[in-house]
């Protein structure tokens, strides 16, 4: 017998009772209820009340190609009709994942020629952890089991990857990080006392990474994980040369360098991969989000020739025991191929132009009394609110600033990320028009003005 009386059948009531939301206060959500989205087109989403909003965050920094792209819908439909599923086990395969792997290898930096498809970013990161361990075992160095990542970094929510993530709520109550998961400080140019001298920031991070490696013992360090721009930590952009310097330290010690491009790949910062901005080639790279532009789930690990060969030779005739039922899903791959065609057919170019407009527009908010910092690159940006510009005093977290700021933006017809520390995050679809970018900036100013009148946040 079904448990619901007709009265309890409203969507919000069903949601409250049954749907557990990701990264949310369960009790807070029960009290606030759900906002249901019903449709979307381009950069505009529509809610159940018929309100249209500009999605300044592309869902969860993923709908890079924008909503309602007919060619993507057609590609998915065609693939579902012809062959909705094929496993990659037993030497089987399908055309779309093979072509997408080849297309990614063709475009990826250096010799990242081998692609392992996952379902999203977290299992891509988790897969790299498994591949890294296997690589060192295959080299006769199983003691290389220590991992280093960067404070304020985000590397997903899997049981191992969440330990590399360096945000407190992902650790507290979960018994994380695991032993052997170390952190160095973030570059965080806004609150870094050395920020006036970018080279000093780089030198300090290099020194800290070296010291960390020495304390652990270089022969025990397996890999270093880094985002080209830290996303979930509040869109923190390292100074030019920082990533390269970190890469060099890893190379010196034979430590694998893993670039987590789950947010930054597929035009978010301008090029297809942010590593291109940095002029580096990682040993492994993770991507997701823009890979399928959120139409269907998919992520990927890209491996260098050297990493792949060590793993392949290490296993020999034995199977490498890592795989999912939905690795290399044909429908996701068909979407990935079509989305890539859209990026290269003009969206990357539009994204670069709109990214410059977004950064300039948001910089124009620096005159606002509540704005302490504006930062970003391309179509990835943040505006940090402070209650005192000189002291850089953060908005009090106890006031639930994130929810209040998010609601206020929503009321102005704008979807943005509102981080708990009082930071607005922006990652609009690359298809945005100039008018939409200007509206994102104008609506943000309106939200800031309204916030200025809020005695609890001031």
User: Is residue 227 close enough to count as binding ligand PMP by CB under 6 A?
Assistant: yes
Per rule CB under 6 A, count of chain residues that contact ligand PMP: 15
Residue of 199, 272, 265, 285 whose CA lies nearest to 62: 265
Using alpha carbons, list the distances in angstroms from residue 444 to 56, 74, 136, 324.
10, 35, 48, 42
| Residue with Cβ nearer ligand PMP (231 or 429) | 231
Comparing CB distances to ligand PMP, the nearer of 280 and 288 is 288
The reply on whether position 155 binds ligand PMP by CB under 6 A is yes
Considering only residues 255-284, where is the footprint of ligand PMP by CB under 6 A? Answer: 260, 262-263
C-alpha–C-alpha distance, residues 296 and 62, integer Å: 11
Of the pair 231, 428, the CB lying nearest ligand PMP is at: 231
Binder of ligand PMP out of 56, 109, 120, 282 (CB under 6 A):
120
Answer yes or no: are the C-beta atoms of 261 and 285 closer than 8 Å. Answer: yes
CB of 24 to ligand PMP, least distance (A): 14
Under 8 Å between Cβ of 176 and 170? yes
Dist CA 113 CA 197 (whole Å): 37
Q: Is 430 in the site for ligand PMP (CB under 6 A)?
A: no
Residues 6 or more apart whose CB falls under 8 angstroms from that of 53 comprise 44, 45, 46, 47, 410, 413, 414, 415
- Burial, 234: exposed, middle or buried (Cβ in 10 Å; 0-12, 13-18, 19+)? buried
Rounded-to-integer distance, Cα 427 and Cα 60, Å? 8
Binding segment for ligand PMP among 148-156, 315-323, 327-335, 368-376 (CB under 6 A)?
Answer: 148-156
CB of 330 to ligand PMP, least distance (A): 19
| Least spacing, CB of residue 313 vs ligand PMP, in Å | 29
Applying CB under 6 A, the span of 33-41, 64-72, 154-162, 268-276 interacting with ligand PMP comes to 154-162
**Residue 423 near residue 381 (C-beta atoms within 8 A):** no
Q: Is 126 in the site for ligand PMP (CB under 6 A)?
A: no
How far, in Å, are 19, 33, 59, 65, 340 from residue 297 at the CA level?
19, 26, 13, 14, 15
Query: By C-beta, is 61 or 134 nearer to ligand PMP?
Result: 61
Q: How far out from the chain centre does Cα 76 lie?
A: 24
Least separation in angstroms between residue 258's CB and ligand PMP is 10
Per CB under 6 A, does 231 bind ligand PMP? yes
Binding mask 392-411 for ligand PMP (x = CB under 6 A): --------------------
**Beta carbons of 271 and 277 less than 8 angstroms apart:** yes
* Residue number with the smallest Cβ distance to ligand PMP: 121
Shortest spacing between CB 346 and ligand PMP, in angstroms: 26
Given candidates 66, 109, 121, 355, which one binds ligand PMP under the rule CB under 6 A? 121
d(CA 116, CA 308): 10
Let me know if 367 is exposed, middle or buried by CB neighbors in 10 A (0-12, 13-18, 19+).
Answer: exposed
122 touching ligand PMP, by CB under 6 A: yes
Q: At its nearest, how many Å lie between ligand PMP and the CB of residue 109?
A: 17
Q: Is 292 helix (H, G, I), strand (E, B) or coil?
A: coil
Order of all β-strands in the sheet with 414-415: 37-41, 44-47, 52-55, 414-415
Figure out which of the listed residues 232, 327, 350, 451 binds ligand PMP, where binding follows CB under 6 A.
232
Contact between 97 and ligand PMP by CB under 6 A: the answer reads: no
CB-nearer residue toward ligand PMP: 101 or 287 = 287
Site for ligand PMP in 5-44 (CB under 6 A): none
Local structure of residue 350 (DSSP, 8 states): H
**Nearest 5 degrees, angle CA 58-CA 406-CA 352?**
30
8 Å CB contact between 87 and 278:
no
**Shortest distance, CB of residue 398 to ligand PMP, whole angstroms?**
25
Among 153-161, 183-191, 373-381, 428-436, the segment contacting ligand PMP (CB under 6 A): 153-161
Site residues, ligand PMP (CB under 6 A): 120-122, 125, 154-156, 227, 231-232, 260, 262-263, 288, 299
């Amino acid at each position: 017998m079904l448990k619901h009386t007709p009265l309890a059948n409203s969507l919000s009531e069903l949601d409250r009772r049954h749907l557990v939301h990701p990264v949310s206060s369960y009790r807070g959500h029960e009290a606030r209820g759900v906002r249901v989205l019903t449709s979307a087109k381009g950069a505009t989403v529509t809610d159940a009340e018929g309100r249209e909003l500009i999605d300044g965050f592309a869902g969860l920094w993923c709908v890079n190609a924008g909503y309602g792209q007919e060619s993507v819908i057609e590609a998915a439909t065609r693939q579902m009709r012809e062959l909705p599923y094929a496993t990659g086990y037993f030497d089987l395969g399908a055309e779309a994942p093979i072509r997408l792997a080849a297309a990614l290898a063709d475009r990826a930096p250096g010799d990242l020629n081998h692609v392992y498809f996952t379902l999203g970013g977290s299992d891509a990161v988790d897969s790299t952890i498994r591949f890294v361990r296997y690589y060192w075992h295959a080299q006769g160095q199983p003691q290389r089991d220590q991992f280093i990542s960067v404070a304020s970094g985000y590397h997903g929510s899997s049981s191992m990857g969440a330990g590399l993530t360096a945000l407190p709520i992902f650790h507290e109550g979960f018994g994380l990080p695991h032993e052997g998961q170390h952190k160095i400080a973030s570059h965080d140019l806004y609150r870094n006392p050395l920020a006036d001298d970018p080279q000093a920031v780089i030198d300090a991070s290099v020194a800290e990474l070296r010291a960390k490696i020495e304390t652990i013992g270089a022969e025990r360090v397996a890999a270093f994980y880094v985002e080209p721009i830290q996303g979930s930590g509040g869109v923190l952009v390292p100074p030019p040369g920082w990533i390269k310097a970190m890469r060099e330290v890893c190379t010196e010690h034979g430590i694998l360098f893993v670039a987590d491009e789950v947010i930054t790949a597929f035009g978010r910062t301008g090029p297809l991969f942010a590593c291109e901005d940095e002029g580096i080639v990682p040993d492994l790279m993770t991507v997701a989000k823009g890979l399928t532009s959120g139409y269907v789930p998919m992520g990927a690990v890209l491996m260098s020739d050297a990493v792949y060969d060590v793993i392949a030779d290490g296993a020999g005739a034995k199977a490498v025991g890592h795989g999912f039922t939905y690795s290399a899903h044909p429908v996701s791959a068909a979407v990935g191929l079509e989305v890539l065609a859209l990026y290269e057919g003009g969206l990357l170019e539009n994204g670069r132009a709109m990214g410059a407009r977004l950064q300039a527009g948001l910089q124009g908010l620096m005159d606002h009394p509540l704005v302490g910092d504006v930062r970003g690159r391309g179509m990835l940006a943040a505006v940090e609110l402070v209650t005192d510009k000189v002291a850089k005093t953060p908005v009090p977290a106890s006031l639930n600033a994130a929810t209040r700021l998010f609601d206020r933006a929503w009321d102005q017809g704008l979807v943005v990320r509102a981080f708990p520390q009082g930071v607005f995050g922006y990652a609009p679809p690359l298809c945005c028009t100039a008018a939409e970018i200007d509206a994102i900036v104008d609506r943000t100013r309106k939200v800031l003005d309204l916030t200025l009148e809020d005695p609890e946040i001031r």
